[in-house]
A and B are shown apart, each in its own frame.
Chain A
Amino acid sequence: MRTVFKTSYDADINLFKHSAQRNWYILLLAFALALPFLISSFAIGEATNLLIWAIACMGLMILVGQTGQASLGHAAFLAVGCYANVLLQERLGLPFILSFPLAGLIAGVAGALIAMPMTKLHGVYLAIGTIAIAILTDDFIVIATPLTNGVMGLFAPDISIFGYGFNRYGNPVGLYYLILGITLLVVLGYRNLQRSPLGRSFAAIRDSEISAQAMGVNVARTKAVAFGISAGVTGLAGALMGHFAGIFNNETFNIILSIQLLLAIVIGGLGTIHGAFFGAAVIALLPQTIAMGRDFLNKFMASGSIAIPGLEAAIFGGILIAFILFEPQGIYGRWFKIRTWFELFPFYRRDMFRRQKSYLKTERMR
């Protein structure tokens, strides 16, 4: 356990708390850079998928974890980003390097516009409003068939930057490095957002809307901005998802995807960047793990391949229920406790992270 002696105001908002922490992250970065030399190209594809999910999770985390607004409709912004990126490339002939940020911008503007009437809503009403957005998006893609090709779907072209091509199958390592770079930029942006006045006003709204208002935060505008930034980052992830999947249609971005995204960040740990990555790891690697577990079982039982529909969603749901009941702070919270146990050994106490008993705080307007 290292106690930081703060000698300047900047110590509160520095990128890293102390040099040891910085060194650990540099080590992690070196590991991420060396990963293609350590694992097979199939596993690199999975790692790329994980990073794309992590960007999407960070996008939602800005809204749910930082600002405290639940959204069950973020698949809509994934869809906006994905379609905008491909349509800008195909219809207007823009290169990826322009269409990608523009896709994020379009998704962000869409998010902020949608948020404006919804900033009045709280808790449940916001959740149901965002569900409505997710369902409407599915139908709007079908209605706008001349543009989006409806249920037939669209093909995403290969990413090409200055003549250098990135393809999931032809050049998996290149795609991995490209997406790793984008992920790093998003993480840096997220960290800087947390340290800025805007990020602090997000946290103020999350913790108490009324006190934030009393401190001079413009609640409605800040919520709309949070929605916009969150939708923008999610849109970037959507654009990458489109390129990674290769083909997509209206059902790629359905309501279940929105719900999964929200569940992922809760499992990971709300309010932290680590949580976004942990949640992304769970959501990206779970199908593979289940498939491997099934193969493992088949070896012993020799029952042939058993396919149980809905198993994945049910296991996911089971994990989630267990986390909400026993570790509401998610994987990151558990990791933090284990780390503290080692740091303080032998002085860790069981109730150290126990919150004071809270009574039902009404969110209902009465």
Chain B
Amino acid sequence: MDVLQLIVSGLANGCVYGLVAMGFVLIYKATEAVNFAQGDFMMLGAFICLGLTNPQFMGLPFWVSVPIAIGIMGAFGYALDLVVLRRMFGQSQVAIIILTIALGFVLRFVAGLIWGHEPISLASPIAGRDVRFLGVVLGLDEMMVIAVTVVLTVVLYFYFNRTKLGVAMQASSQNQLAAYYMGIPVKRIHSLIWALAGMVAAVAGILFASKGSIDPSIGLLGIKAFAAAVIGGFGSLPGALLGGIIVGLIEPFSGRYMPSGYSQIMPYLLLFIILVFRPHGILAQVHQKKV
């Protein structure tokens, strides 16, 4: 029955990757910028929640600090676009990639300065409890991660298809100029997209933190999430989640059935194969390029 346990823990990890990957895709779809600091957003969200919750810092109740942390990350994303990224409008994609990589360095430094570089665990009520299900022991934290991800995906789906703001975001991501003509405030929409990505990252971070201890270098997990986004298809939200789950499932299984040393390269090997044979991912959304 340990196959089931492997599947559940892989799914839980995969959901975190998928959520971070969704942040990438949200920003990429809407603004064509690639946020390499998305992993560090996740780290920051986790640490803000930890700073509010843990008794050695603020000591607020967990369920109070979660919405506050999500709100702070949303405001952070909005402000970042307003102050920094709006100036980059029209510059090449590579410039924005480099900018966000540098931003990641700075965020990691700031987090290390405030919360230290030692691993800390979040005082979360769901950590470390077990659920017995059909004779197997599953972690409550892992089940919770999967459940929250499913709920969040459904919410985002309805947000993008049913609400006015969501449809406006879709419109401005498909054709900025046409969206301008239709009276959509594209600049503000971009800022709101960054805010949304920050909030999704905060959720991912809190979920990740409730599964184990965190330190400022967990932001580098963003690279794995990035691989997930590319595997799934960079332009599609379901693709990002799918890619995250694939990467999450590959890890425990290759760790179990392959010699050590080979297991951690499997996600990147898969990424490489996907890039060579299906460069736009499993759920590609690509048509002919116009000049």
Contacts and interface: CB of A to CB of B under 8 A. Distances in A.
Interface residues of B, number: 54
Contacts of A296: none
A266 B98 contact: yes
B32 A325 contact: no
Interface residues of A, number: 51
Given A132-B227, A325-B84, A360-B89, A118 B275 contact: yes
B103 A321 contact: yes
Contacts of A359: 90
B286 interface: yes
Given A124-B34, A314-B105, A325 B87 contact: yes
Given A139-B265, A309-B112, A318-B106, A255 B98 contact: no
A136 B268 contact: yes
A316 interface: yes
B119 to A, nearest CB: 14
Contacts of A310: 105, 108-109, 112, 117, 216
B290 A366 contact: yes
A309 B117 CA distance: 8
Contacts of B154: none
B264 A139 contact: yes
Contacts of A124: 28, 34, 93, 97, 234
A361 B271 CA distance: 27
Contacts of B98: 262-263, 266, 320, 324
A360 B33 CA distance: 10
B286 A365 contact: yes
A239 interface: no
A360 B92 CA distance: 8
Nearest to B110: A314
A324 B280 contact: no
B275 A129 contact: yes
B226 A128 contact: yes
Interface in B161-192: 176
A121 B226 CA distance: 16
Contacts of A361: 90
A308 B99 contact: no
A339 interface: no
B287 A365 contact: yes
A117 B108 contact: no
A320 B95 CA distance: 10
A131 B272 CA distance: 10
Given A127-B97, A320-B98, A364 B235 contact: yes
Interface in A216-245: none
A70 B109 contact: no
Q: Which of B32, B89, B286 has the most CB atoms of chain A within a 10 A radius of its CB?
A: B32
B42 interface: no
A26 to B, nearest CB: 35
B93 A363 contact: yes
A259 B280 CA distance: 24
B72 to A, nearest CB: 21
Interface string A166-182: 00000000000000000
A313 B106 CA distance: 7
B240 interface: no
A323 to B, nearest CB: 9
Nearest to B105: A317
Contact of B106 (A143, A317, A358): A317
A358 B264 CA distance: 43
B291 interface: yes
Contact of B95 (A131, A308, A324, A365): A324
Contacts of A132: 227, 268, 271-272, 275
A135 B93 contact: no
A309 B88 CA distance: 30
Given A136-B272, A365-B280, 13 more contacts: A70-B94, A118-B275, A123-B94, A124-B234, A125-B280, A131-B226, A310-B108, A313-B109, A316-B102, A317-B109, A324-B95, A325-B88, A364-B235
Interface of B: 28, 32, 34, 84, 87-95, 97-99, 101-106, 108-110, 112-113, 117, 176, 216, 223, 226-227, 230, 234-235, 261-262, 264-265, 268-269, 271-272, 275-276, 279-280, 286-291
